[in-house]
Amino acid sequence: MEQIITITEEAALQIKDMMKENEEENAFLRVGVKGGGCSGLSYGMGFAHEVEEGDSEYEQHGIKILIDKDSSLILKGTVIGYKQSLMGGGFTIDNPNAIASCGCGSSFKTATNTGTPEEC
């Protein structure tokens, strides 16, 4: 299966820790995009237990990843990382398809998909 996103080693370690804390070691990591946010599209990550029709499925750093068909086109080439700072840590998402994003960094739009923008 073609790799759609890349998860850095730092992000993978964090995801594995979260899976362990939530007793989700056997789950998939579902990465997707939904309408909303001030720029029109928002990222989503969570744990899933079932492969749905149209999902792309592959593995990186020992993490089983699922991405739905619609999100695959928007996320192609995206790198998910993890940065630690004095204020704590958080995931970073570098999507080469995003042409605009909002100040919060979690909402964006692409040249072909403006999503459903909401009030900031």
Average pLDDT on 42-62 reads: 94
Average pLDDT on 17-46 reads: 89
Domain boundaries, the chain: 5-110
Q: What is the pTM of this model?
A: 0.81
What's the rounded Cα separation, in Å, for the pair 116 and 35? Answer: 5
Tell me the per-residue pLDDT of 55-97, one tens digit each, with 9 for 90 and over: 999 999 999 999 999 999 999 999 999 998 877 788 988 989 8
Q: Does domain 5-110 have CATH number 2.60.40.650?
A: no
- Which of 32-36, 61-65, 106-110 has the lowest average pLDDT? 106-110
More confident residue, 19 or 1: 19
Q: What secondary structure does DSSP assign to 3-55, as a single string?
A: --EEE-HHHHHHHHHHHHHTT-TT-EEEEEEEE-SSSSEEEEEEEESSPPTT-
pLDDT band at 5 (very low <50, low <70, confident <90, very high): very high
Q: Name the average pLDDT for the chain.
A: 85
